[in-house]
Structure formats: C-alpha cells, structure tokens
Chains A and B, each alone.
Chain A
C-alpha cells in the first residue's frame, strides 16, 4: 500500500546496534536486580511518592507514583481522594509503570533520510529536528497559509500542541475520539437535553435502581468510576439490563440480558418508548413540567409495538415489556446509559437521541439515581496574546455536517487528498498520541492522504505504526516523567489533580509542552510560551485557584464545594434546559428545519452476505486501544487477540480452537496477520468478535508485532452520520480463511 514516495520505514531499520546497546545498559542499571536483592534480604525500601494522573486512558485517574532511593518506579497506586478512582486504579493504571519501562520506546528524534538510495530514519539531535519542523511550519504558512497545517491528536500532549497550532494560526484540528467514538452521543443528548454527556459521564450509578446498558461494556471498558459504581449497584441489588449480541461481562452480571440481533437497537428503543407511553408508565410529572413534543412522540411510536420490534430485534415481546416496566418501576432512578463508543451504523446521533428521549420519559436527567448535574472548576488560562483568526479550519472542512462540534478526522483526510474543488487543501500534519492507522477506519484512505502530504511529523512515546510514515519522529516522554495541565473534570463535586514528574525523562525523550515551546520560539511565537518550565504555569494557575504547587505535591487531588446549585432537580423546581425551547425536546424543530427526522426512525442496516459474519470489536480490560499492547506489564496479561466464533460456525467451517485463521472483508481486504480461533457460546452465529488494538505492523514493537489481527484494517466501509459526520464502523463483514493468503508474498 505505501507508495514509492513514502516508503514505510520500520524504525529499527537504522540505529539498531545503538538502540540495542542502550537497552543493555538500561538493564544493568534497571530496577530488577536491585529489587531482587532487596526482596531477598528482606530489606524494607524507603519509597517516596509523587502525584500524577493516569494517561493510559482518558479517564485520567489520579494516583501516586512510588519511587525508591535509586529513582526506580516501583508501583503506582490510586489517590484515595480522587473521585475518578477512589484510591483504586484499574489494571492499566496499575500497569502504567510499563509505559515507562518499555525498552522499545522512542529514544531520539528521527529524520527520514536517504542512505545508499534507501529511505531510512536517521537519529538526530533535538536542534536539528526542531529546526527542520520550524522551517516546514514557515514554508506551509508562506506557501498555503497556516490553516494548511493540521493537528491530529489525542490526550494530554494534544493540548500543548493545540496551543502551538492556535498561536501559529491553525485550528485545522481533529481527534478520533470525536467522529470515531463519542461524537454522536453528544449530538443526540445536546439535541434532547441541551447538554453534552461529556467525560466522565454524569451517570449516577452509585444511587441507581435500574441500569440499562446498550452495547456498553462496563467491566471490559475499565472506565473506573463506572466500574466501581456498577459493582456497588450489584451489591445494592439494583436491576441491570444489558442489550448486547454478545454475552459481555456486564451482560453476565445482569438481571436481564437481551441478546439483540446486531444493528437493530433503534427498534428496541422505539418499542420501549411505546410500552412506557401506551402502558401509561412514563414519568408524567417530569414530562409535563420539563418536556415538549410528547404528543408527537406518542403518535410517532404508536406502531412501534413490542411485536413489531420482535420481528426486527429477535427480542421477545414479553421481555421488551418486562424490561420497560422494570425501568419505569425504578424511575427516575433509572439510567439508560449513553454509551461511549457509539459510532456503529451511521444513524448513531439519532440512536443516541432515542436513548436520551427514553431517559426523558423516565425523568432520569437531573434526578438521583439517573443523571446528576455535574460541576467542574474552570482553570484560569495562563496569560498569552490573542490567537490569530484562521481563514478556515475544522468547522469549514466539516460544514456538510451541521451538528459537528469538533473536527471530523475523515473530513480532514479528504481535504488532504488532492481534488479539483478542494477549498481547504491540507499539506502537512502533526500527529500526536494517536496511532492513526489503527484509530481510523479506511486505512487505505489514511495512507493515501499521508502520501499527499508535504510533511508529516509524529509525536509519540512508542514506535507506533504511524511513526513509520513520518518525515520526523519526536520522542515524547511518558506521563510519569513530565508536567502536564491541571486535570479539572466535571463530577459530583469540582476537583483538580496534578501531574508532577516522578522521574527524569528516559533516553532523550521530552514533554509535549517543551516541544511546543521550542517550535513556537523558532516561529517567533515566544510570547505565547512565556515560561521556562511548565511548572510555572501550573504554579500560577494553582495560586488563582486558591491552592499552591507545594500543597498539591502533598495531596495530589483537591476537592471543592459545589457553587452551581444542587446535584439534582428539587421538587417543583423550574429548570431551563439549554435547548432552543428551554425544555427536553422529544420533537426537534431544529432537526426538522435542517431536513432531518425530528424524531428517530428505525432504518434497517446491511446484513452480512452468505458466508460472511458481522465484524464486532470491543475492549479488553487490560488494554487501551492499540497504545498499550506493547506495555510489558499489560502484554504479559494479554499479548494477542482471538476471534470469537460460535460453536455452530466452528462446526460448519471446520474450525478448531486456537487454530490460526485469516480474515477477508467484503471489500477483499485480508488481515495482515493470523488470529487464533476462540470457540465460545458467548457470541451469536451471525457475527464474530475480537478485541480492538492488536495486529501491530511495526516490528520495532517487539511484544506487539504480528500478534493477532487488527479490526481497524478490516473496517474499510463506514456509514457516515449525516448529522455530525461520525463514521459508523459496525457494518463490515468478514469471512474466515484457513489457508495463509500471504504464503507467496512478503509483508
């Protein structure tokens, strides 16, 4: 797939000897022999602790990094005062130590060079790499305008680089976390309640009496607070209802598991609304006081009977009725969970809206045991000059989608591929903290876009697949080795958490704030980076918030009192929702005026052709996407994914457990690597399932390379959400190959 202009370079191609030698040296100085000795002699080590918040996933739990006298990190524990973790990290947080110790980390800046006629990476100094990058920023600004330099990002480093880009004059910025993940639910909820769900979700699971999960895998996704509170809910005997074609972990803990036919959730949601309305079970006080469009909704779902839905979903009418009654019995302490990764079938914002409307009928938004009113603390901006106003940016690129509220990655990709009427030509990318070839669907398009670029710089801690396409690779240090912005996330109470470096950056790696400042200064934007160390920024901000760096170093997390009012609606309280009507909108005039269905409608989605199975994918509790697969601690727990197939499918296709197979999708794309078969009753016969994030193609990831198959590679078809541009990913179908299709080719 890579063209001759941009040959994919495996980072190991050059400098292998040097890197190997460094690795050996690190082993000699590394922690294990010292720890062994300490354990054997039973000597109690003196440990000190530094506060951090986790970067292994977006939940950002606050914790303590323990280091011994030799500056070795020994363990990471949760911070007891942190509302995100309550002192208990998940396996990835506990295993975050492996992000630091991984000997495959990027170690020096690298520049794509031609050596003996071969494209390869050359290890260079920071000076050389930064000078080159700055010259490219200048070149793009002069030739096309700053808007043509795009930033694709994820996580904490993205924030620092976003500041650089805005100072430079570009807000051509996007992240897969929006259009490939939670974007549609934010649109669906905003159109109904006038508010995004946001992160962390303000679901009051702690006090709920009925939790409804629709394709949401709490327990396999380790969204810490939610996992903890669901466990409490189980203890309290709350009713749990899970809708999932697969017996997920959550499904196995549920009172009701609805093994729905994939792609038909909308029919179930409409039927549930039908039962609530026509059995007179909905929350009448709430609907009367806070909502608009109820009569239209009543008429809209009149024909959506459980019998109608049965034929579509395969869920028996009595089960649909029984579960709707259970929700109503617990209401308003019922949560129909908005989910997180919701880009499934292309009508996802409308499905999220149906979820929101169901919550509206139950009166759960703003009530105990439903959704609470979250509150966060606004961290004051460290003073800097105004950003220049770009001529165009993510908004103009995504203007086809009226409800897009963040950059749409796929639209940025389109704008990067040359075409006749492209008004927004993108010529250079910076990619930070996201492995685009795995985090985006339609790999071929991503690579085509990359091949159209004048310049690509990748900032990462690891030699992820995307680094192989870069002109310059910058080694970022891990979260355990750097300062970052103050974490201020909305929860039941406002709280802040700090990230202080526990150890010095390994190798030549550097923090993203430093990289941004260095590039900024080279571009004459020094006024935007008026500090020597990011510590000064945090120190200033903490002072504004009435605390200090000194205090925060001791406590890590600080909780504040609420100032925005109570957590829930008070009885008979007037409340204005942030919708145009000020009410919860069952009927959306706004959608209607823009030519969309004002209320969600069931649309059938494509079915797998004969001999093909729907490709479903999900999370392993020990991994975050593709970024942790090489982590030594976490790879030890799960180093490859398996293909879940129903025993019937295994019998028909003659598959044995642990047999290696390859997958071919509806467009003829074949998985690079084989995947082992797992025969299990936990899955339907019309679909297969695998954990996301595996099947890495870069040999430099010594533990992850070639282990398992990549679902992303097989997702070549997307169903685009007409409201906000999200890419539905669950309409891809695969067939199972038992012979090695790559036998005669070299990968």
Chain B
C-alpha cells in the first residue's frame, strides 16, 4: 500500500476550502495551516497561464525530515504516511529546515506539526478532510500499488508533475497539468 494524493490543477480554483476543512478537522491552531494554496502566473498580458494548486506535506518516499530527525519522532507508517509523534518530538526544527516544501511548522505546544493525510480518518475508511470537501472535486486519494485505483488510473492517463523533483524526495502528491 502506497497512499498518494492527485490534484488536478485544471480544475482547482484555489478557493481554500481544503485549508479551512483541515483546520476544523485537525484543530490546527490559529495562524497556522497544514495545507495552503499556491498561485503561479506565467507569461505576459494577454498571453497568460495561471496555475492554482493546493499544497501540503508530500509524504515523500525518501523523506529528508525522517532521515534527519534525531529522536525518531518523524516516522513512516503503513501506506508511506509520514507522521510526527508529538511526545517524542523535542522541537529541534531540523525537519523543518530539511523539508523542501516548507510543509512543517512548530506547533505552539512545542512539537512539530504537519499534514497527516488525515490518518485518523483513513483508519475509519474516510477520505482526508481536504479531499472530502473540495467543491471542484479536483483532489483524488488512493493507493498507488493498486493499478485500478483512481489515482493510478489518473497518473496513467494524464500528464502530471511533482513539486521540486530535483530534491529527489519522491513525493506522493502529484499534480495533473
């Protein structure tokens, strides 16, 4: 099992519903977020391209945050989900510095926090909160090891990219372009 998220930039309108849903679902402290919207404009008027996309922890296969964690608080669980064990985290910030996606932040309680792919919901057979609320249904979630899963099919049929591929982290969040 390898969990992955696929986000269709052709459909995302950048409304931030994923951000609010994550905050209420995961009780993210005020002023912080585990996911966010990025807008990229290229070209010049009127020959323009606009890409809107929802970003978060990429749950990398080669996760630098896990490698550099001195206490083992950052770890990988079933399905390739990268999690932080708050009680083992000493808040040293090494993982924050190592993440090429700027996906981690220091929780006011001292530990490091980030997207969990809504691990607690997956256990109950539910989709991550962000995926479940998106009005444009531009986000897909599933198992890359299952060739028939929606995510596998989309990556087979459509052009896609990952963010910062040069970092060699093998992200598990894919963007359809």
Contacts and interface: CB of A to CB of B under 8 A. Distances in A.
B147 to A, nearest CB: 22
A680 B40 CA distance: 11
Interface string A14-55: 000000000000000000100110011000000000000000
B19 A637 contact: yes
B46 A259 contact: yes
Nearest to A232: B137
B133 A228 contact: no
Contacts of B43: 681
B13 A227 contact: yes
A75 B24 CA distance: 6
A39 B24 CA distance: 12
A231 B20 contact: no
B11 A234 contact: yes
A228 B134 CA distance: 9
Contacts of A158: none
Interface in B126-154: 132-138
Given A257-B46, A646-B45, A75 B25 contact: yes
A494 interface: no
A247 B20 contact: no
B126 to A, nearest CB: 11
Contacts of A632: 30
Contacts of A622: 15-16, 20
Contact of A681 (B14, B33, B48): B48
A247 B50 contact: yes
Contact of B45 (A88, A231, A259): A259
Nearest to B50: A252
Nearest to B11: A231
Interface stretch (A91-99, A294-302, A390-398, A568-576): A91-99
A633 B45 contact: no
Contact of B24 (A74, A232, A249, A684): A74
A681 B30 contact: no
Contacts of B45: 247, 259, 646, 681-685
Contact of A94 (B17, B27, B136): B17
Contacts of B27: 32, 35-36, 39
A358 to B, nearest CB: 23
A382 to B, nearest CB: 34
Of the candidates B13, B50, B109, the one having the most CB atoms from chain A within 10 angstroms of its own CB is B13
A621 interface: yes
A252 B31 CA distance: 30
Given A94-B133, A231-B136, A259-B45, A637 B20 contact: yes
Interface in A74-131: 74-78, 85, 88-91, 94-95, 97
Contacts of A91: 15-17, 19-20
B136 A77 contact: no
Contacts of B118: none
Nearest to A646: B45
Contact of A621 (B13, B25, B86): B13
A224 interface: yes
B37 to A, nearest CB: 9
Contacts of A230: 136
B16 A637 contact: yes
Contacts of A188: none
A683 B27 CA distance: 37
Contacts of B14: 219, 249, 621
Interface residues of B, number: 37
Contacts of B15: 90-91, 219, 222, 227, 621-622
Contacts of A220: 13
A257 B46 CA distance: 9
B36 to A, nearest CB: 9
A235 B134 contact: no
Interface string A224-248: 1001101110110000000000010
A561 to B, nearest CB: 27
Interface in B1-47: 10-11, 13-17, 19-21, 23-27, 29-31, 33, 41, 43-46
A94 B48 contact: no
A173 interface: no
B24 A94 contact: yes
Given A35-B27, A249-B52, A682 B41 contact: yes
Interface string B51-90: 0100000000000000000000000000000000010000
A681 B45 CA distance: 5
A324 B21 CA distance: 41
A545 interface: no
B44 A681 contact: yes
A253 interface: yes
A249 B37 CA distance: 13
Contacts of A94: 17, 20-21, 24, 133
Nearest to B24: A75
A231 B139 CA distance: 12
Contacts of B138: 231
A132 B25 CA distance: 44
A414 B86 CA distance: 63
A410 B49 CA distance: 41
B94 to A, nearest CB: 23
A634 interface: yes
A88 B25 contact: no
Contacts of B52: 249, 252
A680 B41 contact: yes
B17 A682 contact: no
Contacts of B41: 247, 680-682
A249 B41 CA distance: 11
Contacts of A234: 10-11
A219 B136 CA distance: 9
A227 B12 CA distance: 10
A551 to B, nearest CB: 26
A527 interface: no
A39 B132 CA distance: 21
Contacts of A636: 23, 30-31, 33
A667 B2 CA distance: 62
B19 A222 contact: no
Contacts of A637: 16, 19-20
Contact of B137 (A36, A231, A681): A231
A249 B52 CA distance: 9
Contacts of B132: 88
Contacts of A39: 26-27
Nearest to A78: B133
Nearest to A314: B46
A77 B130 CA distance: 12
Interface in A682-706: 682-685
Interface in A193-229: 219-220, 222, 224, 227-228
Interface in B83-121: 86, 109
Contacts of A77: 133
B30 A88 contact: no
Nearest to A74: B24
B133 A219 contact: no
Contact of A633 (B11, B23, B48): B23
Contacts of B31: 636
A244 to B, nearest CB: 10
14 contacts: A32-B27, A35-B27, A88-B137, A219-B15, A222-B15, A227-B13, A230-B136, A231-B136, A247-B45, A249-B14, A252-B52, A259-B46, A646-B45, A680-B41
Q: What are the 3 tightest A-B residue pairs by CB atom distance, in nearest-first order?
A: A219-B13, A252-B50, A231-B136
Interface of A: 32, 35-36, 39-40, 74-78, 85, 88-91, 94-95, 97, 219-220, 222, 224, 227-228, 230-232, 234-235, 247, 249, 251-253, 257, 259, 621-622, 632-634, 636-637, 646-647, 680-685
Given A90-B135, A252-B49, 8 more contacts: A219-B136, A220-B13, A222-B15, A227-B15, A235-B11, A247-B46, A252-B52, A253-B11
